[in-house]
Amino acid sequence: MAEPRKDDFLDDIEEAAAEEQEHAADDVSKEAAEIDALRAERDALENKFMRALADAENARKRSDKDRREAENYGGSKLARDLLPVHDNLKRALDTVTPEQREGSEALIEGVELTLRELRNVFTKHGITLIDPQPGDRFDPQHHEAMFEAPLPGTKAGEIIQVSAQGFMLHDRILRPAQVGVSSNRETE
């Protein structure tokens, strides 16, 4: 048998070292790939988390807005149904003559107190009166023109008669004031 040569032995050692380095490099590249994959997964999960957090915040804001609107405007149907009660009480008081006032003072005072209490309840719930006067400028945001007439001594677009007062619920029109408007073009 031939004796192993020193060079063969060194070659074997170098070959083993090279193989070991190759395995180590493979392990490092596998670990680097795993780390990169974990980083990508972490970034994706962080992105999903941030989106879910933003969605939750948007849902909370939407819910708060819906709650406020329901609180402010949820009773608008009931309020609209009570407006004729206000109109009738006001009409009843507007038709009272001085003789009737003397003869039925307690009754008329009761109607006045009822109207005042109804207005207090309206105010408590954010309902405000739109009370235009003859001579005021017509505002289509708050008034509904029931008729137009050329009344001498008025300008076009002036209110000449108020048929019914209007009401607002917070910042929304519950019922526009019903008015007559001048169409007189000669004094513009």
Q: Give the integer Cα–Cα distance in Å for 57 and 77.
A: 31
d(CA 137, CA 181): 9
Tell me the average pLDDT across 73-101: 91
3-state secondary structure 8-70: HHHHHHHHHHHHHHHHHHHHHHHHHHHHHHHHHHHHHHHHHHHHHHHHHHHHHHHHHHHHHHH
pLDDT tens digit string along 2-60? 555 556 666 777 777 777 777 766 667 888 888 999 999 999 999 999 999 999 999 99
Over 80: is that where the pLDDT of 186 sits?
Answer: no
Which burial class, exposed, middle or buried, applies to 43 when counting CB atoms under 10 A from its CB (0-12, 13-18, 19+)? exposed
Least Cα distance to 79 among 115, 114, 127, 144 occurs for 127
pLDDT digits (tens, 9 = 90+) for 105-157: 999 999 999 999 999 999 999 999 999 999 999 999 999 999 999 988 899 99
pLDDT at 187: 44
